[in-house]
Amino acid sequence: MGVVGFITTYWMAVRLDLPVEGRFSFTGVWSALKRSVLSLLMPIIILSGILIGIFTPTEAAAVAVVYGFLISKFIYRELSWLHFRRVLIESGVTTGIVMLIIGTATLFGWILTSQQVPHRISESLASVSSEAWVFLLLVNIVFIVVHCVFEVSASLIMTLPILFPIARAYGIDPVHFGIVLTANMGVGMITPPIGMCLCVACGISGVSIQKATLPLLPLLGTMVLALIFITFVPEFTLLLPRLVLGYQSP
């Protein structure tokens, strides 16, 4: 998905004749790396802290905020106290928008769950065909549609306990199925109008979701193509777990 994102972004930049920076040079890369090395440590601190067990993913977010504040204020000296006040206000507004959407989606999900809608959908998927590829295709279609009105985490919590046993009954590798759903979540994170990353990006940029949707369609389309490839070529999906971790399908 990262690769197709690079290609799509480059194609759109050329097509729209967007302004470019200077020519590529290793000297420029090295200079930028030296300036940004402290910033690049942030994901390393977050991931290593989670994997080692120093803090939870939720606590990692707080650690990232504190680390970002310290290097912005005292190392790079780009954050004044006046700017810091504005950052707090803007962060609060953006967080409020996103949490309002998540709360509404969660309430809607509870209503559908109480009416057993996900269970009925899952039963319908299982009864359509005895072919595993048909089941995977229908799962992707349903999830893409569901992500238009559901927050991705809520949709997984509601459907995964039902879909996973069905996938195993079809003989689908559990790791492959998990990666397919994870890739589908990646699409769902930018699917309007509930996509969390889309809402955050629009909140930060001040661009409405309606205005951002049309330019987003090429990227969304290529991500769906990548999702199809991930879904129907399990050998590619499982290549890394098998080579690095020695994973064997059950």
Write down the pLDDT at residue 91.
83
Write down the pLDDT at residue 99.
78
> Does the structure show a pLDDT above 70 at 32?
yes
Computed over every residue of the chain, the mean pLDDT equals 84
Residues in the chain: 250
Write down the pLDDT at residue 109.
67
DSSP state letters, 91-108:
HHHHHHHHHHHHHHHHHH
Q: Is the pTM of this model over 0.85?
A: no
> Does the structure show a pLDDT above 80 at 231?
yes
Residue 17, judged by CB atoms within 10 A of its CB (0-12, 13-18, 19+), counts as exposed
- Please list, in sequence order, all residues whose beta carbon lies within 8 angstroms of the beta carbon of residue 45, skipping any fewer than 6 positions away: 63, 64, 67
Write down the pLDDT at residue 241.
85
Q: How far apart, in Å, are the Cα atoms of 246 and each of 173, 234, 238, 240, 243?
A: 15, 16, 10, 9, 6
Write down the pLDDT at residue 119.
67
The pLDDT tens digits of the residues spanning 38-82 come to 888 998 999 899 888 898 988 998 999 999 999 988 888 888 888
Question: What does the angle CA 162 – CA 163 – CA 169 come to, to the nearest 5 degrees?
Answer: 110
> Does the structure show a pLDDT above 90 at 227?
yes
Write down the pLDDT at residue 20.
82
Between CA 127 and CA 149 the distance in angstroms is 25
